[in-house]
Amino acid sequence: MAYPSQLGFQNAASPIMEELLHFHDHALMVAVLISSLVLYTLITTISTKLTHTTTTDAQMVEMVWTVLPALTLIMIALPSLRILYLMDEITTPHLTIKAIGHQWYWSYEYTDYKTLLFDSYMTPATDLLPGHYRLLDVDNRIVLPMNSPIRTLVTAEDVLHSWAVPPLGVKTDAVPGRLNQTTFMTLTPGVYYGQCSEICGANHSFMPIVIESVPLKHFENWSTSLTI
């Protein structure tokens, strides 16, 4: 969960989000080094004799400013492609849920449990309980077992939506007539918040997503109580 005056990302709650945070720090460091080198070169060029024709037209200089950017792009591209393939890796999921976007709420179906389905609406401010968050909490949370690969099938019934949970590194478009898939796994028990990240209408900002990660035993008790 984000906290007041926070500048960085939320704490990672999944392996993919941990990888994304590492890649962000890596790319940011590369950008800082490039900016520093370019600034140093500009200052040096203005204040010294580097503007001499024999220096600025030198073949070695041209080779350096061609090869260096290429190596830099490789340094950024390789980790990025690795994470991309990790995110698309199809593992054997322990559980599959289907998220359906509506104007303006989400519906969920646990496909492994025929009778386990419900709508999830934002909790009105007048019904909030102590410790709940305004505009972020819902009446029915998604309860999932921790340390279990979860497959989520995302679609929409009316217009474009986007199922996004930042702590898990998940953001998948919900397109009418199409099933998009994403996988994730929560590392620790807790409650993780997200929102619709697509401008899907007047109330698009009132489509919160709440995932409650619990131990497997608690999940089995919860699912049994709803399916009986």
pLDDT score at 208? 94
Spatial distance between the Cα atoms of 189 and 169, rounded to a whole number of angstroms: 16
- Better-scored residue on pLDDT, 106 or 203: 106
Does residue 4 have a pLDDT over 80? no
pTM: 0.80
Number of residues that this document lists for the chain? 228
Angle between helices 59-88 and 15-47 (to 10 degrees): 170
The answer to whether residues 112 and 218 belong to one domain is yes
Last residue of a domain, one of 88, 122, 145: 88
157 and 78 housed in the same domain: no
What percent of the chain clears pLDDT 70, i.e. is strictly above it?
A: 93
Q: Work out the average pLDDT over 41-45.
A: 79
Residue 51 lies in a domain: yes
Residue 102, domain member (yes or no): yes
Residues 62, 82 within the same domain = yes
185 in the same domain as 143 = yes
**Where is the domain boundary, 88, 115, 135?**
88
Identify the domain containing residue 159 by its residue range: 95-227
Question: Of 88, 109, 134, which marks where a domain is finished?
Answer: 88
Mean of the pLDDT values across residues 146-166?
A: 92
Asked whether the predicted pLDDT for residue 165 surpasses 70, the reply is yes
pLDDT digits (tens, 9 = 90+) for 47-60: 766 555 555 556 77
Q: Residue 194 falls within a domain, yes or no? A: yes
Residue 8 falls inside a structural domain: no
Largest CA distance in the chain: 84
Domain shared by 136 and 42, yes or no = no
- The mean predicted confidence, pLDDT, of the chain is 86
157 with 219, same domain?
yes
> Region 27-47: what's the mean pLDDT?
85
Distance in Å from the first CA to the final CA of the chain: 33
How far, in Å, CA of 117 to CA of 140, rounded? 10
For residues 105 and 43, membership in a common domain is answered with: no
Question: What local confidence, expressed as pLDDT, does residue 153 receive?
Answer: 94
3-state secondary structure of 152: strand
Do 175 and 149 lie in one domain? The reply is yes
Alpha carbon distance 73, 64 (integer Å) = 14
Is position 81 within any domain?
Answer: yes
Q: Same domain for 102 and 207?
A: yes
65 plus 105 within the same structural domain: no
d(CA 119, CA 208): 12
Cβ-proximal residues to 98 (8 Å cutoff; 6+ apart), any chain: 108, 109, 111, 152, 153, 154, 155
